[in-house]
Every structure is written in C-alpha cells, then in structure tokens.
C-alpha cells in the first residue's frame, strides 16, 4: 500500500514538471512557441421564448408566496410608539395632502361657490320660521325666546329654563324642585309656610338660583319678592311670596307645573333644502360646503378621544366583528349627509339629513314629493342594496355619509299595474310645483 501511494505522488510530480525536452536540444530552442491569436467566435445568444418567460414569471410568483412576509412591530410598546409618532406627524402637517390610497375626507368648498351641491347647512327656527346658518341658530333662538316674554311670560320663562341651560341633569333637578314647591301649595293651600320660598335657602341656591329663567318663571306665575322677618335672626331675609290672586287659582298653578315638566329645549330643525335637478351624468359628484366637515369643540374632543383609543386598539389582535365596529365608529364622525335619489325619469331629488337619522326619514322625504304618495316604492343604494323603510339603521350605519346617490324603484306590484294601465314606468312622478322649480346640475 505504501508503494502504491509513492507511485501516485511520483506521477503527480511528473505531470506538474511541464513539457518534456530532448537531450540534444539547445537552451535557445527551448523557448515556448507562441500560439497564434485566433479570435473566438461566439454564437449570438437568443432571448427566452414566450413560454419560458411565462414559466419564469409563474415560478417567481410561487417563490414570493412561499417567502414569509415582513411583519411590523409585534410588541405592544413598539406599536404604541409607532402610532404616537404617526399621530404627531399628522398633527404637524394637518391640512397637507394625504397619501394616495388613504381614506381621505373630500375637500370642502368655499361657501358661495357656484358649483356647490348645497350652499351651506341651514336650519329652521321653530318660533319664527326663519332659515338660519349654523353659526346663527343659537343667537336667533335666544333672541326669539326673549322677545316672547312680552306676549306669554310663562311660556317664555319655561323655554328659557330648558334652552339656555345646557346641563340637562341640573335642569331636571331644578324643575323637579320647583314642581315640588307648587305641589305643596296645591295640596296645602291653607298653610302659609308653603306659600313662601326663602331665596337664601341652601336647596334654592343649589338647585334653582343657578338656572337661567327660574326667577322669571316664579314672577310670571304670581310670586313676588318681599323682605320678611326670620325668627332668631336680627335682619329680614328675601322671600318669594305667592300672591292672593294666584293662590285663588290652584288649577293655573297645576297647569304651569305640567308645562314646566314636559317642556323640551327649543332647537332649530335641520332644513332639508329640497332641490330637483334634471337628469345629469354628474349625479354622483358632490361638491360639499365646509359645514359638512367642520367639527365643533365637542366633536374635536370626541375625535381626540377616539385617536387615543386607537393606540390601545392597535396593540391587540382584533376579530372581524371588532374591525366592523371600528368602521362603523369611523362613519359616525360625520354630522350631516347630502342624499340624492334618481327617479324613474332620471330627475334627481336632493335633501340634507343628519347622519344619525333613520332610513325612514328619507322615505318620508321622497314620499312628500310624489304625486301619488300612497304607492309603495323601494330605495336602492349602490350595488343594488335595498334600504327597507322599517329598518332602524341610521344613514351612517348604512355607509351613506357624507353623501350618496340612491335609486328609486317602484314596488313590483305597482310596476305591474302601471304597465297594465298602458302608462310609462319612467314618466314623471313628482308634484307639478317641484317640476316647475327644476334646476340644472352643474
């Protein structure tokens, strides 16, 4: 075996020693002969065939599917830090253009623009019938209530109590206390102590004196201020004392008490601003004023609270139901929505609604505009989704915010009757006075 390996080594050395030579050759003849330089001819390389390219693309796709996707931060702390960073960045560059693909709010147009779908969100005062802008409603209602004192001071003071004071719990407590005072008078008319109310009394100060309109109410129903002596006290105190004329009419006191208990705040109602447009290919385009997107102070606080909660939500795994609830919550940030209904003849009926109103409000709005308002019909959202009149869903829960285009459809039985009568199903169905005010959608 040793001899075998020695022979292998000798053979390797022999082959590595280079070419051999004859003993008769001179040293000069041992120069290596140069080989002639012959350019190597390469065949041009052909590109892959279409079949090869398709196979390669399919292979790359399968490869990408097998590769694990990069995952974001998994720890709760890193997720919170990332969300905080994004919120700070968003607050810094508020008003800048959103990245494509994000869920952005449509840009609000300036009021007074000729191309706005509706000039602004407007309201109607229930006392005067005046049409008001959003920034005018509160001041106008207060002025209307104060001017009502000259004609009906009792009703005006009741409206002032319920409207001027925003804290509903405090209002209820004060109203219940006043009602208790009046009940005691009606149940014990002969007891003089029930006809007097000490203004410095702790209950009066904490529950009644702090509310606007309460003093006007006491004076309107027959109470008068008077300074009366107090036992075990040096000076007199101020009291409300019921007059003899008011005491003689206990039924009036009872009626005023009932009015006070059942009253509600005076609030301006949202004006529908109904408009009718001719058929237009721009039916699904909505240029909305800033009122549809501007947030009040309460809405800004709510939005900030929701953003803070997003930090915690992103730190936990969410089920499909949880994600759907969050999407619904996102839709609730809109206060108003502008809805259009395409009628069978192609005309468009438009109105403004609260985003939290029910679908039944839209059905009532459409029915008021029809010549035959007793006939059943359906309203279809995008994708043919039927909106039932009796369902309790709000517009924001149906995704119909801040604007949407719906389609009017006759009930199947009604449509069959129309055709049987030889009438056209796509004829005009609006009241004549609305057709007379039809506009062009620009």
pLDDT at 428 exceeding the cut of 80: yes
- Interior/surface letters 300-321, b for 16+ CB within 10 angstroms, e for the rest: eeeeeeeeeeebeebeeeeeee
Q: Mean pLDDT across the chain, nearest whole number?
A: 79
Do residues 264 and 337 both lie within one domain?
Answer: no
Q: So what's the pLDDT on residue 421?
A: 77
Q: How many C-beta neighbours within 10 Å does residue 343 have?
A: 22
In a domain, 52, yes or no: no
Domain boundary among 269, 293, 317: 269
In a domain, 319, yes or no: no
Q: So what's the pLDDT on residue 94?
A: 47
In a domain, 116, yes or no: no
Q: So what's the pLDDT on residue 234?
A: 84
In a domain, 191, yes or no: yes
Name the more confident of 287 and 363. 363
Q: So what's the pLDDT on residue 1?
A: 58
Do residues 139 and 258 both lie within one domain?
Answer: yes
Distances from the Cα of 436 to the Cα of 186, 275, 433, angstroms: 59, 11, 5
Partners of 337 in beta bridges: 353
pLDDT at 265 exceeding the cut of 90: yes
pLDDT band for position 231 (50/70/90)?
Answer: confident
Work out the average pLDDT over 278-288.
Answer: 89
Domain span at residue 142 reads: 123-269
Which candidate, 221, 214, 209, places its Cα nearest to that of 152?
221
Do residues 129 and 265 both lie within one domain?
Answer: yes
What are the pLDDT digits (tens) for 34-89? 444 544 455 555 555 655 655 555 555 455 444 444 444 445 555 556 555 655 65
Domain boundary among 250, 269, 288: 269
In a domain, 218, yes or no: yes
In a domain, 78, yes or no: no
Q: Helix/strand/coil (H, E, C) string of 313-326?
A: HCCCCCCHHHHHHH
Angle at 299 between CA 297 and CA 305, to 5 degrees: 105
What are the pLDDT digits (tens) for 84-133? 565 565 555 444 444 333 333 344 444 445 567 888 999 999 999 999 99
pLDDT at 242 exceeding the cut of 90: yes
Structural domain count of the chain:
2
DSSP annotation of 357 reads S
Do residues 239 and 335 both lie within one domain?
Answer: no
Name the more confident of 427 and 52. 427
In a domain, 300, yes or no: no
Q: So what's the pLDDT on residue 406?
A: 94
Do residues 249 and 145 both lie within one domain?
Answer: yes
DSSP annotation of 105 reads P
Q: For residue 144, give the CATH number of its domain.
A: 1.20.58.2190
Do residues 148 and 219 both lie within one domain?
Answer: yes
Q: What is the pTM of this model?
A: 0.64
Specify whether the backbone of 213 is left (phi greater than 0), alpha (psi in -120 to 50) or beta.
Answer: left
In a domain, 184, yes or no: yes
Q: So what's the pLDDT on residue 288?
A: 86
Domain boundary among 221, 238, 269: 269
Do residues 204 and 337 both lie within one domain?
Answer: no
Do residues 129 and 249 both lie within one domain?
Answer: yes
List for the chain the helix, strand, coil content (%; round to 5). Answer: 45, 15, 45
């Amino acid at each position: 075996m040793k001899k075998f390996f020695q022979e292998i080594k000798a053979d390797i050395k022999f082959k590595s020693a280079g070419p051999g030579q004859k003993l008769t050759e001179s040293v000069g003849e041992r120069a290596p002969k140069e080989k002639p330089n012959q350019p190597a001819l390469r065949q041009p390389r052909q590109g892959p065939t279409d079949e090869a390219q398709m196979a390669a693309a399919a292979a790359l796709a399968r490869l990408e599917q097998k590769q694990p996707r990069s995952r974001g931060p998994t720890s709760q702390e890193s997720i919170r830090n990332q969300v905080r960073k994004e919120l700070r960045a968003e607050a810094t560059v508020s008003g800048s253009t959103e990245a494509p693909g994000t869920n952005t709010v449509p840009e609000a147009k300036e009021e007074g623009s000729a191309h706005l779908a509706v000039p602004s969100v407007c309201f109607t005062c229930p006392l005067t019938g005046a049409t008001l802008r959003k920034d005018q409603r509160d001041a106008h209602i207060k002025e209307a209530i104060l001017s009502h004192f000259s004609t009906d001071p009792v009703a005006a003071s009741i409206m002032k109590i319920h409207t001027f004071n925003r804290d509903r719990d405090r209002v209820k407590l004060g109203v219940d206390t006043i009602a208790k005072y009046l009940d005691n008078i009606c149940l014990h008319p002969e007891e003089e102590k029930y006809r007097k109310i000490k203004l410095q009394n702790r209950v009066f100060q904490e529950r009644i004196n702090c509310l606007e309109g309460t003093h006007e109410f006491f004076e309107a129903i027959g109470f008068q201020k008077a300074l009366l002596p107090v036992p075990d006290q040096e000076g007199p105190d101020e009291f409300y004392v019921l007059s003899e004329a008011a005491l003689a009419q206990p039924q009036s006191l009872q009626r005023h008490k009932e009015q006070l208990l059942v009253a509600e705040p005076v609030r301006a109602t949202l004006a529908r601003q109904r408009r009718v447009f001719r058929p237009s290919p721009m039916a699904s385009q909505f240029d909305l004023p800033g009122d549809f997107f501007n947030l009040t102070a309460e809405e800004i606080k709510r939005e900030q609270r929701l953003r803070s909660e997003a930090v915690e939500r992103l730190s936990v795994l969410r089920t499909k139901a949880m994600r759907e609830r969050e999407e619904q919550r996102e839709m609730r940030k809109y206060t108003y929505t502008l809805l259009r209904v395409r009628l069978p003849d192609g005309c468009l009926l438009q109105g403004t609604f609260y985003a939290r109103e029910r679908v039944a409000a839209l059905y009532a709005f459409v029915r008021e505009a029809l010549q035959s308002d007793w006939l059943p019909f359906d309203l279809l959202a995008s994708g043919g989704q039927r909106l039932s009149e009796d369902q309790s869903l709000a517009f924001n829960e149906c995704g119909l915010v801040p604007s949407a285009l719906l389609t009017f459809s006759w009930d199947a039985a009604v449509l069959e009757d129309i055709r049987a009568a030889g009438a056209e199903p796509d004829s005009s169905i609006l009241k004549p006075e609305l057709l007379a005010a039809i506009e062009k959608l620009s």
